[in-house]
Structure formats: structure tokens, C-alpha cells
Amino acid sequence: MTERLYLADPYLAAFEAEVVAERSLHGRRALVLTRTAFYPEGGGQPADRGTLGGARVVDVQEVEGEILHAVEGETAPGRIRGEVDFARRFDHLQQHHGQHLLSAAFAAGLSATTLSFHLGEETSTIDLDLASDRLKPARLSEVEGAVNALIFRDLAVEARELSPEEMERLPLRKEPTKGTRVVTVREADGSVVDASPCGGTHPRRTGEVGALAILRAQKWGSGARVEFVCGGRVLSALRQASLGLSEVAGALRCAPPEAPAKARRLSEEAQEQRKELRRLALLLAEAEAERLAGKADPIVEELAAPGGDVAAYLRGVGQALAARGRLALLGAREGERAYLCFARGKGPPSPDLAALLRASAELLAGKGGGTAELAQGGGPEGARLAEALAAARGRLGP
């Protein structure tokens, strides 16, 4: 049985041990040691990285009670020196303990249970048995504030094996599923803030988490998923957000604090412009329909659509012709793409323009749909538009 040094001292970065066996882990050579400071993947926390005897440790897993250290490179037999990548370890320590505090805050403030935890390369997540619509920005801000208050108070953290009697006296946030190791956070007066069974790495005090920032919450199944960062990752997220805001402000030609208001104003202006363009396009479509109405049925025409929404323009022309009781097979191109719109007035079920258009859209390597009276579609092979219109005309018969 390998002695798990990381449980007694999560700050231990270097150690010596004996190699007692070699195994295989996912096709790699893996070492079994008498003792290890390397944390094996588990409980949502990734495995440590580092070196063993100069060989790179690329994975650490617990398999059937053995801790396997997958290595790349040669190692000498017998006694070996291990060095844990402590920057990675400390980052994981911050994220994992931040998760405990976050889960405790959700439990205390919203009676929400954490169902799972995932520590990712850039961000971490917890899944809650709580409807996502209860996690409005203001509520998330409250929870975030409560967690950071615990961090800033620099409370004592204790992680150790407990006796059954000790566990009974604690208000455990969840029932233990493996072992009796419990991570407990206490106020200065000894009162328990959080007590949770866990085999992961944790700091001695909450202050070492640094800070926690909730990035977003979203619906996840019947519950909610909350994404967050802790410690050094908060600084990275802040830098990225600041750089992104600066780029947006530069594009908008304003100061960063003015960017949100200016973006909203430009969005409103663009929406008004789109409405005006649609209005003008409908006027053009009506005029085009008036011009085409003098032709004999079926009206088969490739139109030169104005800039903007080509499909909407074709639909406008088609509907205007249908309102005049006409049958129209219309097409237009925008770049390499072709658009189709087939329209007719209400009447007998034949011809079925939806079926007719789907067949023509296949010639354009595209698709379409609609009703027997109005159908639209298109495809990327715009050079075949004339062929697609001619094929539709041919299917109508004489």
C-alpha cells in the first residue's frame, strides 16, 4: 500500500521513495512507489504532474488500490526522487477549496446541493440541484460575496481522518462515500462553517484561495451548472476581460467604461436601420412584382436582389405575385449562393410548391421547404441557378 504523502502535507513538493513495481497505464510504463506526494485523479480534481527520477510524470491514477505513476523517460530501479509541479498543485488546491466554499454558500443561501464538480484547465464547474432561473445575476453576486467573505476572513482549514464519533458531531454537508477524511472550515470561535468528506488537496487557511469569481450560470439538465475561477485564475480572467473590453472600446472609438453604453446605442441604431431596409426592400419587391405581373404564367425569373436579406426580398416579390393570383418560380444569387422562392395564390392542392422547390434545391446542393402555396430554399452552387429554375418549370408540364 502506497503511503499518500499529499494527504498529510499538500504543500510537499519533493520526496524520495522506493519503486516496488511496474505496471502499464493506458499504454505507458507506470511506477508503483512505497510513498508518493503525487495526487491521483479523483473527486473532480485532476492528477498532479512533475518528475520521477528525471522522467516526466504524465498521469497518476488509482487502479485497484494501487497508485500508478505513468512516466515518459527512463528511471533507475530502487530509490527514486519525485518532484511535484507545485504551481499546478497550488492552482488545483485553490480551485478545489474554492469549490468547497462555493458549494457551502449555495447550500446555506439557497439550500442547493452540489451534485458534481469538475476542475478544468481554465475554469471549474459545479452542478446544482437547483433550477437555473433562480440564479439571477443579483443572487450569484450575493453567493460570490459570501464566498469571498469566507476567503478574506482567512479561516482555519483542517483536513484529517475522523472517528465515527467525531463525524457524528459534525454538520456534514454531504454523506461520506469513501473513507472518513473530512475537510472542515471553522470560524475563530471554533464554530463550523463547512464540513465535507473529501480526499483532495486543500490549504491550511481559506485566505490561500485568494478570491473566487463566478463567471456564469446556465441550465444543465433539470438543474444548473455554475462556472467559476479561483486564485490566480481570477487575475487571468480579469486580464482577459480587460483586454477584450479594450479591444471593443478601440473598435468603437471610445473609452473602455463608455463601451457598453455605446455598443447598446449602436445596436439600437442598427436595429432601426434593419427595419428601414426591410421596409424599402418590401417597396422594391412590390414594384418588381408589378413589373413581372404582365408576364404569362408561370413567371420564371432570376432577379437581381438588392443588398441585405436576399431571401426576404424574394419572398416579398413571390407573395406580391401570389396576391395577384400568379404562379412564380423566382431565384436570385448572392456571391456563390443561390436562393429560391416559389409562390402561387391559394387554390387547388396542385402544384405542391414545397415538393417542387425541394427537388430544385437539390440541384444547388441545398435544401428547402414550405407549403403548397409558398416555399423557399437554396444552396451553395449558385452557378446552377438557371438550371434549377428550368428544372422546376419542366416539372410543371406544358
Q: What is the pLDDT of residues 13-32, one digit of tens each?
A: 999 999 999 999 999 999 99
Read off the pLDDT of residues 223-249 as tens digits, 9 standing for 90 and up: 999 999 999 999 999 999 889 988 888
* Same domain (yes/no): 125, 239: yes
Mean pLDDT across the chain: 93
Q: What are the E-state strand segments in 261-306?
A: 299-303
- What average pLDDT does the segment 154-163 reach? 94
Range of the domain at 95: 90-243
Q: What pLDDT is attached to residue 235?
A: 94
- What average pLDDT does the segment 277-305 reach? 87
- Please count the other Cβ atoms lying within 10 Å of the Cβ belonging to residue 70: 22
What angle, rounded to 10 degrees, do the helices at 86-110 and 232-252 form? 80
The number of domains in the chain is 3
What's the one-letter identity of residue 275? Answer: K
Q: What pLDDT is attached to residue 179?
A: 82
Q: Which residues contact 82 (CB under 8 A, 6 or more apart)?
A: 14, 15, 16, 17, 33, 36, 37, 38, 50, 51, 52, 53, 57
* Same domain (yes/no): 209, 348: no
In a domain, 258, yes or no: no
Q: What pLDDT is attached to residue 310?
A: 87
CATH of the domain at 198: 3.30.980.10
In a domain, 265, yes or no: no
pLDDT band at 300; cut points 50, 70, 90: very high
In a domain, 105, yes or no: yes
Q: What pLDDT is attached to residue 259?
A: 85
Residue 307 has pLDDT above 80, yes or no: no
User: Could you say which of 84, 107, 124 is where a domain stops?
Assistant: 84
User: Could you say which of 243, 263, 290 is where a domain stops?
Assistant: 243
Read off the pLDDT of residues 362-387 as tens digits, 9 standing for 90 and up: 999 999 999 999 999 999 999 999 99
* Same domain (yes/no): 214, 286: no
* Same domain (yes/no): 112, 75: no
Q: What pLDDT is attached to residue 143?
A: 97
Q: What pLDDT is attached to residue 187?
A: 93
* Same domain (yes/no): 134, 75: no
Are residues 187 and 201 in contact, defined by beta-carbon separation less than 8 angstroms? no
Q: What pLDDT is attached to residue 379?
A: 94
* Same domain (yes/no): 339, 382: yes
Residue 98 has pLDDT above 80, yes or no: yes
Q: What pLDDT is attached to residue 398?
A: 74
Q: What pLDDT is attached to residue 256?
A: 87
Cell of 143: 453567493
Cell 469513501 belongs to residue = 178
* Same domain (yes/no): 109, 66: no
* Same domain (yes/no): 75, 100: no
Read off the pLDDT of residues 73-97 as tens digits, 9 standing for 90 and up: 988 888 999 999 999 999 999 999 9
User: Could you say which of 189, 218, 243 is where a domain stops?
Assistant: 243
- What average pLDDT does the segment 250-270 reach? 88
For 102, 138, 149, 211, 212, the CA distances from 145, given in Å and listed in that order, are 10, 11, 6, 10, 9
CATH of the domain at 74: 2.40.30.130
Q: What pLDDT is attached to residue 20?
A: 94
In a domain, 263, yes or no: no
Closest CA to 183 of 151, 34, 167, 252: 167
Question: Global pTM?
Answer: 0.73
In a domain, 272, yes or no: no
Read off the pLDDT of residues 160-216 as tens digits, 9 standing for 90 and up: 999 989 989 999 998 888 889 999 999 999 999 999 999 999 999 999 999 999 999
Q: What pLDDT is attached to residue 48?
A: 97
| More confident site: 365 or 281 | 365
Dist. CA 147–CA 173, nearest whole Å: 16
Q: What pLDDT is attached to residue 41?
A: 95
Helix locations, 64-205, DSSP H: 86-110, 137-152, 164-169
Residue 350 has pLDDT above 80, yes or no: no
Peptide bond preceding 306 in cis form (omega within 30 of 0):
no
* Same domain (yes/no): 120, 202: yes
Closest CA to 226 of 384, 151, 337, 115: 115
CB burial class (10 A; 0-12, 13-18, 19+) of residue 269?
A: exposed
CATH of the domain at 315: 3.10.310.40
In a domain, 296, yes or no: yes
* Same domain (yes/no): 77, 96: no
Kind and range of the H or E run holding 53: none
* Same domain (yes/no): 94, 76: no
Residue 304 has pLDDT above 90, yes or no: no
* Same domain (yes/no): 237, 94: yes
In a domain, 122, yes or no: yes
Residue 2 has pLDDT above 80, yes or no: yes
In a domain, 328, yes or no: yes
